[in-house]
């Protein structure tokens, strides 16, 4: 080497190091300014979900209620003066545990404690990455901050994914040091918070890492037992039967949201119509969605697994004699190859995640750091630079850049993150398949057969499963009662003399307060909303056109208010408080009684009150308890006579009970025999409608109260709940999430009798 070259090289290395440190300083300043400081002064949009769940757990609240949107929102309204939309729908029960130590604190101090924990998670993650790579502190930190927007989202929203990243990093650290059993145990802890790490079962099984496989299986079993012990059988059964299947089908929340940037969302946006959430797809072809999704996922999965599992590198050992024996082509364990394969499988899981928000992609830090280290060890700087560029693009902020309502082929332009993730996948496949140094990539002939069989099996299983799931999903579209663009949920219908009342989550363009539950009235084709001073739930109406009731949830509790639907309600002064400390009003057919629920340590007791037409004062003197909190009543309805029917959980199932007002007699109805909720008695008193749990979904049935004849009305792989009878007792209006996300219900009409 010439003297000039020797003098120049150190200066280049020094300049590059200074550039890296300058970029790192810029990112640190930007992170503190744009993420940390704002996060310290607000509770975020997602932190309340974890905080409230942890608080309810500490208070002994029935945790199965947490997966009910309205129940969960009501509890938030009771404890917080900060209005925010909350939901526990997408979370595992174990995700409340990291927040539980702070849940006794007020919201903002608890949030700040969680932020400090997240800073610690970042530092610990960086420390472990430095120890298992040769990149050094500056480069590891810079690669972490290149995922700036996912990191910022985690801090601003108060999410859990930095803890998951730390657990995944600990897993990789232990795995690369051949402590396979303990790596599997730590991975099980990550899977208890977010589901996708459990899929490393596939990796460990195919790589024959029996210690890691045993650790993961034992860890998952221990996590399941701990969850049952801490949260109870009911909540865990509900999660496994009614929540997890929807999560695995990518329908846990709005499946058409372009913000997910996933393959599922793209294909749903293109080929599945939904009157409110996706009214203008490219074409309504659900079978094509099922075909393309199954084909794409099967192809991506088998190609990656082939490259990871069947691509075995062998170190060439020259012929030599050891103790008189000649050694040839002995397989050698390659730690660098293990690092690449482990990182590639984690990337594969992130690529196939069905509904990833931007903050999910902090987990992308780990595979990028490991693969970058692998490439730089082999002096493949150009490939490393290409990977980093695509990584930055995949982590970019696209929410404000995307078209809000893309149609036709323009839908493809609304998924840039998916495009960059696919490019990154291509880079990883080329790295996995490239020979390096004294190592040679070998594919045995039988691996091709195994790959083909796996691809065909995965494709057929996915395609058939999707087609079965879609059967009957879209039949309700033609019978929708009301269509409100982008409405998240509509439930609790009740038919008045003048129109239809129901509860709905108000779209932003209909309300001055975003994300507010409101009572709506559909009358003569027009929609009126009633929501001031808090969230309004569960309307009740009688024969008088100028009187309606609803639950108003505010800080400190719920109350039943009476209002005039014919007049606009612009302030609470226009809504009279009828019953304090009361939820879910239901009116008798003659309008003389109102039934309602009261919470006692999270469990509902059932009460009634006599109301008068001209009564203008609140009085609790005539309140009568029908069923105590031991029943934990969920819904109630009046018979035309002096009876009332209500649903109650009993021995892990829901049962219907009949009570005679004034007698104190409560009888369990022997039929229906299924787990039944949402009772509604027809105006003529002959039929009762209800929802019956069947295989993890809720289906509508009606039963003749005299003959006990039962008629099933729905059977699609989705939920049909909250029925209300028409005045002529021939039709039902009900809430359904068919063709939508779990519990994102719309209202439809069903003809029961012609």
| DSSP string computed for 224-282 | HHHHHHHH-HHHHHHIIIIIHHHHHTT-SS-TT-GGG-SHHHHHHHHH--BTTTBSS-S
Q: Are residues 29 and 110 in the same domain?
A: yes
- Note the pLDDT of residue 619: 57
**For the whole prediction, is pTM greater than 0.95?**
no
- Note the pLDDT of residue 358: 87
Q: Are residues 32 and 88 in the same domain?
A: yes
> Phi/psi at 752 (nearest 5 deg)?
-90, -45
Longest Cα separation, the chain? 108
The parent domain of residue 138 ranges over 1-241
Which of 470, 488, 517 is the last residue in one of the domains? 470
Q: Does the residue 543 lie in any domain?
A: yes
Give the H/E segment covering residue 52: helix 47-58
> Phi/psi at 739 (nearest 5 deg)?
75, 5
Q: Are residues 510 and 580 in the same domain?
A: yes
d(CA 230, CA 239) in angstroms, rounded, equals 14
User: Which one, of 552, 571, 568, lies nearest residue 560 by Cα?
Assistant: 552
Q: Does the residue 724 lie in any domain?
A: no
Q: Are residues 170 and 259 in the same domain?
A: no
Q: Does the residue 502 lie in any domain?
A: yes
Q: Are residues 18 and 164 in the same domain?
A: yes
d(CA 644, CA 667) in angstroms, rounded, equals 11
d(CA 512, CA 108) in angstroms, rounded, equals 25
Q: 450: buried, middle or exposed (CB in 10 Å: 19+, 13-18, 0-12)?
A: middle
Interval 238-260 mean pLDDT: 88
Give the H/E segment covering residue 426: helix 416-433
Q: Tell me the per-residue pLDDT of 471-488, one tens digit each, with 9 for 90 and over.
A: 999 999 999 998 877 678
Q: Are residues 154 and 32 in the same domain?
A: yes
Q: Are residues 357 and 380 in the same domain?
A: yes
d(CA 463, CA 442) in angstroms, rounded, equals 32
Which of 132-141, 216-225, 434-443, 495-504 bottoms out in mean pLDDT, i.e. has the lowest?
434-443
The token pair that represents 439 in the structure block: 């190592």
DSSP state of 310: I
- Note the pLDDT of residue 591: 86
The token pair that represents 70 in the structure block: 């309205």
Q: Are residues 210 and 272 in the same domain?
A: no
Give the H/E segment covering residue 625: strand 624-627
Q: 3-class secondary structure for 659-671? A: EECCCCEEEECCC
* Domain total of the chain: 3
d(CA 25, CA 14) in angstroms, rounded, equals 16
- Note the pLDDT of residue 748: 96
Q: Residue 180 in contact with residue 219, Cβ under 8 Å?
A: no
Q: Does the residue 674 lie in any domain?
A: no
Q: Tell me the per-residue pLDDT of 606-644, one tens digit each, with 9 for 90 and over.
A: 999 988 645 554 455 678 999 999 999 999 999 998 799
- Res 313 pLDDT > 70: no
Q: Tell me the per-residue pLDDT of 79-98, one tens digit each, with 9 for 90 and over.
A: 988 878 899 988 999 999 99
User: Which one, of 640, 594, 651, lies nearest residue 618 by Cα?
Assistant: 594
pLDDT confidence band for 13 (50 / 70 / 90)? low
Q: Does the residue 226 lie in any domain?
A: yes
Q: Does the residue 361 lie in any domain?
A: yes
Q: Does the residue 667 lie in any domain?
A: no
d(CA 443, CA 718) in angstroms, rounded, equals 44
- Res 292 pLDDT > 90: yes
Q: Are residues 267 and 348 in the same domain?
A: yes
| Long-range pairs, 669-676, Cβ under 8 A, ≥24 | 669/645, 671/703, 671/708, 671/710, 672/701, 672/703, 672/710, 674/701, 676/647, 676/701
- Res 183 pLDDT > 60: yes
Which of 241, 268, 290 is the last residue in one of the domains? 241
Q: Are residues 572 and 553 in the same domain?
A: yes
- Note the pLDDT of residue 322: 42
- Res 326 pLDDT > 80: no
Q: Are residues 147 and 287 in the same domain?
A: no
Q: Does the residue 730 lie in any domain?
A: no
Which of 587, 622, 655 is the last residue in one of the domains? 587
Task: List 519's β-bridge partners, or say none.
Answer: 503, 530
Compute the mean pLDDT over every residue in the chain, rounded to the nearest whole number.
Answer: 88
- Res 466 pLDDT > 80: yes
Q: Residue 716 in contact with residue 732, Cβ under 8 Å?
A: no
Q: 3-class secondary structure for 188-220? A: HHHHHHCCHHHHHHHHHHHCCCHHHHHHHHHHH
- Torsion angle of C-alpha atoms 534, 539, 544, 546, degrees rounded to 10: 30
Q: Are residues 423 and 535 in the same domain?
A: no
Q: How many CA atoms lie within 13 A of 427 on its CB side?
A: 24
pLDDT confidence band for 450 (50 / 70 / 90)? confident
């Amino acid at each position: 080497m010439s003297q000039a070259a020797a003098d120049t090289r150190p200066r280049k290395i020094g300049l590059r190091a200074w550039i890296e440190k300058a970029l790192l300083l810029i990112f640190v300043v930007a992170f503190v300014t744009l993420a940390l400081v704002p996060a310290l002064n607000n509770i975020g949009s997602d932190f309340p979900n974890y905080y409230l769940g942890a608080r309810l757990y500490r208070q002994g609240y029935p945790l199965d209620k947490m997966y009910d949107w309205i129940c969960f929102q009501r509890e938030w309204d009771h404890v917080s003066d900060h209005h925010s939309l909350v939901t526990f729908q997408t979370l595992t029960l174990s995700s409340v545990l990291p927040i539980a130590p702070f849940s006794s604190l007020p919201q903002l101090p608890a949030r700040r404690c969680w932020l400090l924990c997240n800073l610690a998670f970042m530092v610990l993650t960086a420390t472990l990455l430095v120890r298992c790579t040769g990149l050094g502190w500056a480069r590891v930190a810079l690669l972490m901050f290149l995922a700036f927007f996912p990191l910022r989202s985690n801090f601003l929203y108060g999410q859990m994914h930095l803890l998951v990243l730390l657990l995944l990093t600990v897993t990789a650290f232990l795995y690369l040091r051949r402590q396979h059993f303990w790596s599997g145990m730590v991975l099980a802890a990550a899977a208890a918070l977010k589901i996708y790490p459990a899929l490393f079962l596939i990796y460990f099984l195919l790589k024959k890492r029996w210690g890691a496989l045993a650790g993961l299986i034992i860890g998952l079993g221990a996590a399941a037992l701990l969850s049952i012990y801490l949260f109870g059988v009911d909540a865990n059964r509900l999660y496994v039967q009614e929540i997890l299947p929807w999560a695995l089908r990518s329908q846990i929340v709005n499946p058409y949201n372009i913000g997910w940037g996933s393959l599922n969302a793209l294909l749903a946006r293109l080929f599945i119509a939904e009157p409110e959430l996706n009214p203008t797809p490219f074409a309504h072809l659900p079978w094509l969605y099922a075909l393309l999704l199954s084909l794409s996922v099967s192809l991506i999965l088998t190609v990656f697994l082939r490259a990871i599992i069947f691509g075995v590198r062998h170190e060439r050992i020259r012929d030599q004699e050891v103790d008189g024996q000649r050694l040839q082509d002995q397989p050698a364990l390659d730690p660098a190859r293990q690092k690449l394969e482990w990182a590639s499988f984690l990337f594969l899981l992130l690529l196939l995640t069905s509904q990833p928000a931007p903050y999910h992609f902090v987990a992308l830090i780990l595979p990028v750091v490991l693969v970058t280290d692998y490439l730089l060890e082999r002096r493949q700087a150009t490939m490393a630079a290409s990977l980093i560029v695509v990584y930055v693009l995949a982590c970019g902020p696209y929410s404000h850049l995307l078209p809000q309502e893309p149609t036709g082929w323009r839908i493809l332009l609304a998924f840039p993150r998916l495009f960059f993730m696919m490019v990154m996948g291509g880079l990883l496949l080329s790295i996995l398949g490239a020979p390096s140094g004294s190592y040679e990539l070998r594919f045995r002939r039988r691996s091709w057969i195994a790959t083909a069989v796996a691809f065909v099996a995965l494709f057929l299983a996915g395609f058939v499963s999707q087609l079965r799931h879609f059967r009957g999903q879209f039949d309700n579209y033609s019978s929708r009662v009301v269509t409100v663009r982008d409405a998240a949920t509509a439930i609790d219908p009740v038919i008045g003399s003048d129109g239809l009342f129901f509860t709905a989550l108000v779209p932003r363009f209909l309300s001055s307060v975003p994300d507010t539950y409101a009572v709506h009235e559909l009358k003569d084709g027009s929609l009126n909303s009633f929501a001031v001073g808090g969230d309004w739930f569960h309307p009740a109406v009688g024969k008088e056109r100028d009187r309606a009731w609803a639950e108003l949830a505010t800080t400190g509790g719920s109350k039943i208010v009476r209002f005039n639907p014919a007049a606009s309600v612009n302030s609470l002064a226009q809504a009279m408080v009828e019953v304090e400390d009361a939820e879910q009003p239901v009116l008798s057919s003659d309008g003389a009684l109102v039934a309602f629920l009261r919470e006692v340590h999270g469990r509902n007791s059932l009460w009634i009150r006599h109301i008068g037409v001209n009564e203008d004062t609140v009085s609790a003197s005539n309140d009568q308890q029908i069923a105590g909190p031991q029943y934990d009543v969920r819904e109630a309805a009046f018979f035309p006579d002096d009876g009332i029917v209500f649903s109650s959980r009993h021995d892990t199932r829901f049962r219907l009970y009949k009570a005679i007002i004034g007698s104190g007699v409560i009888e369990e109805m022997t039929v229906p025999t299924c787990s039944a909720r949402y009772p509604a008695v027809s105006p003529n008193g002959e039929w009762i409608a209800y929802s019956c749990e069947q295989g993890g979904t809720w289906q509508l049935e009606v039963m003749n109260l005299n003959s006990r004849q039962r008629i099933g009305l729905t059977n699609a792989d989705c939920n049909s709940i909250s029925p209300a009878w028409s005045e002529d007792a021939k039709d039902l209006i009900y809430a359904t999430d068919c063709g939508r996300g779990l519990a994102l219900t719309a209202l439809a009409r069903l003809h029961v009798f012609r």
